[in-house]
Amino acid sequence: MSKHGKKYLDAAKRFDRSRVYGPSEALDLVKSLATAKFDETVELSLRLGVDPRKADQVVRGTVALPAGTGKDVRVAVFAAGQAAEDARAAGADVVGADDLVARVDGGFMDFDVAIATPDLMGQVGRLGRKLGPRGLMPNPKTGTVTTDVGKAIADFKGGRVEYRADTRSRGVVQVPIGKVSFDRDALLRNFRAVVDEIQRAKPSAAKGKYIKSVAVGSTMGPGVDVDPGALRITDEELQPA
């Protein structure tokens, strides 16, 4: 018995799954295969030739999507004093110190990004078992531990997303690059930004082929394989933003 529904299986029959496609053609396919009644998220997946369990092969950071995410990003900020006031002024959805730590420890998870000032990381660190598995633990490498909370909030609400090679999936990076409702050029601009960033972040300890496989897909649709050798997108391929 397949775990996928009829719409997914029907969509999977509408293209050649044995082929690899160029980025433009793949994204056109993803848009055409999306059948859900909601605006599905388009996700880019890259399997990297790294072992993220080794400290010198970690691939993690953030990337700004030039066309945005198409999503209303909910930001929680662990801060006190002036930093908390700055966070509220910058549009944080929830702000707190000891009280927010207690709320999260009690199960509150209604946010997409968590930002913390350095002075509160001693308390936030105790939430590792809550935030870690969801990829929400603030980290200086992703710009989510900072004294400039206003800038961090603006960045993440404006289209900055986190990425990391998952230790549980043999180095797979999964990054949202927009919505099915985006036109192809907007998705291509975001696709290029993520690929460029992942290539820039290649660890010096990574040996052999770095980007092993690439796929794009929508929330409810099948994945479409992209040719790893054809990832470069030139300005000429894009219409003016």
- Both 59 and 168 in one domain: the answer is yes
- Both 28 and 138 in one domain: the answer is no
We report the CATH number of the domain holding residue 185 as 3.30.190.20
| Mean pLDDT value across residues 218-238 | 84
- Both 50 and 150 in one domain: the answer is no
Q: Considering the domain boundaries, does residue 192 fall inside one?
A: yes
Number of domains making up the chain: 2
- Both 90 and 131 in one domain: the answer is yes
- Both 25 and 56 in one domain: the answer is yes
Residues of the domain holding 35: 18-69+160-237
129-184: pLDDT as tens digits: 999 988 899 999 889 999 999 999 999 999 999 899 987 778 999 999 999 999 99
- Both 79 and 151 in one domain: the answer is yes
Q: Considering the domain boundaries, does residue 106 fall inside one?
A: yes
Burial 168-200 (b: 16+ CB within 10 A, else e): eeebbbebbbbbbebebbbbbbbbbbbbebbee
Q: What is the pTM of this model?
A: 0.79
Domain boundary among 141, 157, 173: 157
Residue 1 in this model has a pLDDT that exceeds 50: no
Q: Considering the domain boundaries, does residue 4 fall inside one?
A: no
Other C-beta atoms closer than 10 Å to the C-beta of 58 total: 18
Q: Where are the beta strands (DSSP E) in 159-222?
A: 160-164, 172-179, 211-218
